[in-house]
Amino acid sequence: MSRMLFANLAVENVAATRAFFDKLGFTFNDMFCDENTACLEINEQSFVMLLEKPRFRDFINDDICDTSTAREVLMCVSADSREAVNQLVDGAVAAGGSEWVTAGSQQANTEMGEFSHSRAFRDLDNHVWEVMWMDVEAAAQQWAPEEKGAQA
């Protein structure tokens, strides 16, 4: 069974948020958009619902995370190359977001070597979006389990 994924994020201003992601080249599924909601399409099966806070509250019984002081989720999207990672993050910063760097994310890049590259940005509402490229074949070769005879 193939499942669809709808991640939901609370935003202050859905029009401003949609304009931000438009500038980054993302598309939207207008079937699920209205004046309070934008449906950002990751692919045919994965979407991020960007809901203005009053609309987001319709779906929850508790508080909305204060993204200026805490993380409720780390979104991660893939890119086709190292250059595409840099273009997307640089574009996000130019569109009003900010780069997000932690010691942990720098460590992960170092450990993964030459076959991956990632950076992250905060959107207009301080949600963190990691952008990652990986050469899956090279990663699989480096992380391939030892032959069973060598483990004995």
What local confidence, expressed as pLDDT, does residue 57 receive? 97
Given phi > 0 = left and psi -120 to 50 = alpha, else beta, which region is 26?
Answer: beta
Q: Rounded to whole angstroms, how far apart are CA atoms 92 and 106?
A: 19
What local confidence, expressed as pLDDT, does residue 107 receive? 46
To the nearest 10 degrees (0 to 180), the angle between helices 14-23 and 82-94 is: 140
Residue 152 has pLDDT above 50, yes or no: no
Summarize pLDDT for 71-122 with one digit per residue, the tens. Answer: 889 999 999 999 999 999 999 999 999 999 864 555 444 345 678 899 999 9
Give the residue among 88, 109, 76 at the shortest CA–CA distance from 24.
88
Summarize pLDDT for 127-136 with one digit per residue, the tens. Answer: 999 999 988 8
